[in-house]
Amino acid sequence: MATGKQPAGPVVSGKPLRALVLEDDPADFEILEHHLRAAGFRAECTRVETEAEFMAHLQPDLDVVLSDYKLAGWDAIRALELYRASCLDIPFILVSGTISEEVAVECMKRGAADYLLKDRLGRLGPAINRARNDIAEKRLSESLSSRLLKAHEEERKKVARELHDQVGGAMATLLLGLNDLDSGLPPDGPAQAQLQALKRLAEDNVAIVRNIALLLRPSMLDELGLIPALNWQAREVSRRTGMEVAVEADDACDHLPDEYRTCIYRLVQESLHNAARHAKAAQARVTVREEPGQIRVWIQDDGPGFDTRHQKGMGILGMEERVRHLGGVFHIDSKPGQGALISILLPRGRTDPATDGGS
Ligand SMILES: Nc1ncnc2c1ncn2[C@@H]1O[C@H](COP(=O)(O)OP(=O)(O)OP(=O)(O)O)[C@@H](O)[C@H]1O
Ligand SMILES: [Mg+2]
C-alpha cells in the first residue's frame, strides 16, 4: 500500500479528492496520479493491492474508488462484490488495460459507474465528475422523495384527526340532539318514525367517518404501537373481504421508531389489499420478526400467484420505494399457481435521509 499526497495542481474545487486506488503496479499508479493532477484535482490517493487493504481503506469519507481489473490473486469483480456489500455511496470506476467488452459490461452490471482504458486517461476527470454528480443527484432525489413520503404520512395523520374530531364530533352532537327530540315526540306518530330513521342515518355516518379516519392512519399506530395496528388491520380486511388474516409479530416490534412502524404498516396494508383484491386469497399470513440489527417481514397469501416480472403497478413500486428509503431489501416470490410471498428486510440504525440536517 502506498499513499501519495500531491502538491496543489490546477484546483477545481477547494476540497481534495480522496481516491482509493486498487492497483498493483506502482508505475501505473503514478500515471493515474499524474492524470488526476492534470484534470485539476488536488488528489489524495491511497494505493492498495490486497483484499484486506481494500477493506481496511474502504471508508465513507472517500470520493472515488479507481480499480484496475486484474490484481495479484484477485480482480475487480471481487472488489465490486466487497464494494456493493459495503453499501457505500462512492463511485467505483474501472481503470484497466485492455479488457473485453463482456468484462466491462459485467463490471458495470455489478455496480461500476464507468470504465476507462489506461491508454485513454484523458477521460478520467470528466468520468469522475460525472459519476460524483450522478451520486449527488441520486442522494438529492432520495432525500426529496423521502420528505414527500413523510409529508404525505403527516397529511394523512392530520386529515384523519380532523375527520375524527371535527366531523365525527359534529355527528355525535347531532345524534345527541336527535335523542333529546325523541323524548318530546309521541311514540307512534309519523314524526317519530322519521326521527328514528334520521338517528340511524346519523349513527351510520358516525361509524363511517371513524372508519375512514382509521383507514387513513389508525391513531393506534402512534398510540399503542405496530402490533395492535396490524391486528386491527387484519380484522378490518377480514371483515370487508372474507379473507382470513393471521398476524404473528415479535413483541419487540411494537415500539419501533415511527418510520419503521409506518413503513411496515403500509407494506402490510398494500400486500393484504392486493391479496384480497387480485388474488381473492382465502388466507393470508403476516409475520414480523426482530433479529439482531434488522427486522424481517413476510406477507404470504394462498391465491393463484402472478408473474412478478410483468406485473408491477403503483402499489408494488410504492412498497419498493418505502423499503429502499430505509436501506432495506424487498422481494416478491410468486409464480402463477403458487400464491405470493412478499419478503422485506429492514436494517436497523440507518438515519432517515429526510431528517438529516435537522429539518
Ligand atoms: N398477491 C397477489 N396475487 C396475485 N396478483 C397480484 C398480487 N399482488 C399483485 N398482483 C398483481 O400485480 C399487479 C400490480 O400490483 P400493484 O399493487 O403494483 O398495482 P395494483 O394493485 O394493480 O394497483 P394499485 O396498487 O395502484 O391500486 C396487480 O394488478 C395484480 O395483477
Ligand atoms: Mg395494489
> Does any ligand 1 atom lie closer than 6 A to the CB of residue 275?
yes
Whole-angstrom Cα distance, residue 308 to residue 342?
Answer: 11
Given a cut of 90, whether residue 214 has pLDDT beyond it is no
Which of 283, 286, 306 has most ligand 1 atoms within 8 Å of its beta carbon, as the pocket-test mutant? 306
pLDDT of residue 156: 86
Task: Pick the last residue of a domain from 141, 171, 192.
Answer: 141
CATH code of the domain covering residue 279: 3.30.565.10
* Residue 153 maps to a domain: no
Question: CA 280, CA 227: separation in Å to the nearest integer?
Answer: 24
Nearest by Cα to 70 from 49, 85, 90: 49
> From the CB of 339, is ligand 1 less than 6 Å away?
no
| Paired sense of beta strands 17-22 and 340-347, if any | unpaired
- Which atom, in ligand 1's list, is nearest to the CA of 274? 8
At 257-312, the pLDDT tens digits run 888 999 999 999 999 999 999 999 999 999 999 998 899 999 999 999 998 877 77
Going by alpha carbons, the residue nearest to atom 24 of ligand 1 is: 315
In a shared domain, residues 104 and 228 = no
Query: Would you state the cell numbers that stand for residue 354, as one nine-digit string?
Result: 429526510
Letter for the amino acid at 238? S
Domain boundary residue, one of 119, 141, 163 = 141
Nearest to 262, CA basis, from 241, 301, 283, 233 = 233
Task: Decide which of 312 and 167 is more confident.
Answer: 167
Distance separating alpha carbons of residues 272 and 278, to the nearest angstrom: 10
Residue whose cell numbers read 398494500: 270
Is the CB–ligand 1 distance for residue 59 below 6 Å? no
- How far does the centroid of ligand 1 lie from the alpha carbon of residue 226, in Å? 24
Query: For residue range 96-120, what is the model confidence (pLDDT) as tens digits?
Result: 987 888 899 999 999 999 999 998 8
254 lies in the same domain as 351? yes
Which residue's alpha carbon is at the smallest distance from atom 15 of ligand 1? 313
Q: Decide if pLDDT at 3 tops 80.
A: no
Ligand 1 touching residue 311 (CB < 6 A): yes
Same domain, 230 and 135: no
Query: Which of the listed residues 106, 141, 176 is the one where a domain comes to its end?
Result: 141
pTM: 0.63
The DSSP letter of residue 331 is E
Answer whether residue 35 is part of any domain. Answer: yes
Per-residue confidence band for 350, with pLDDT thresholds at 50, 70 and 90: low
341 lines ligand 1 (CB under 6 A): no
Domain of 23, CATH number, reads: 3.40.50.2300
Question: Does residue 247 register a pLDDT over 70?
Answer: yes
Domain range enclosing 38 = 2-141
Pocket of ligand 1 contains residue 318 by CB under 6 Å: no
CA distances in angstroms from 169 to 26, 131, 160, 215, listed in the order given: 77, 56, 13, 18
- 276 touches ligand 1 (CB under 6 Å): no
Q: Which amino acid is at 178?
A: L
- Digit-coded pLDDT (tens) for 298-310: 999 999 999 887 7
Per-position DSSP letters for 12-54, written without gaps between them: SSSS-EEEEEE-S-HHHHHHHHHHHHHTT--EEEEEE-SHHHH
Please give the tally of structural domains in the chain: 2
With cell 493532477, the residue in question is 37
Do residues 97 and 69 touch, judged by C-beta distance below 8 A? Answer: yes
10 and 102 share a domain? yes
Residue 108 domain-assigned (yes or no): yes
Atom of ligand 1 nearest to the CA of 273: 21
**Residues 73-91, buried b or exposed e (16+ Cβ, 10 A)?**
ebbbeebbeebeeeeeebb
pLDDT in tens, 52-85: 999 999 998 999 999 999 999 999 999 999 998 8
CA–centroid distance, residue 301 to ligand 2 (Å) = 14
Q: Is the CB of 278 under 6 A from ligand 1?
A: yes
246 & 137 share domain = no
In a domain, 178, yes or no: no
Whether 279 lines ligand 1, by a CB cut-off of 6 Å, is yes
Q: Is 6 domain-assigned?
A: yes
Closest Cα partner for 333 from 289, 286, 298, 285? 298
Give the rounded percent of residues in the chain with a pLDDT score beyond 90.
52
What does each C-alpha distance from 280 to 146, 284, 300, 339 come to in angstroms? Answer: 32, 10, 13, 11
Q: Contact 253/295 with Cβ under 8 angstroms?
A: yes
Same domain, 253 and 341: yes
Other CB atoms within 10 A of residue 227 CB: 20
The owner of cell 315526540 is 185
The phi, psi pair for 159, rounded to 5°, reads: -65, -40
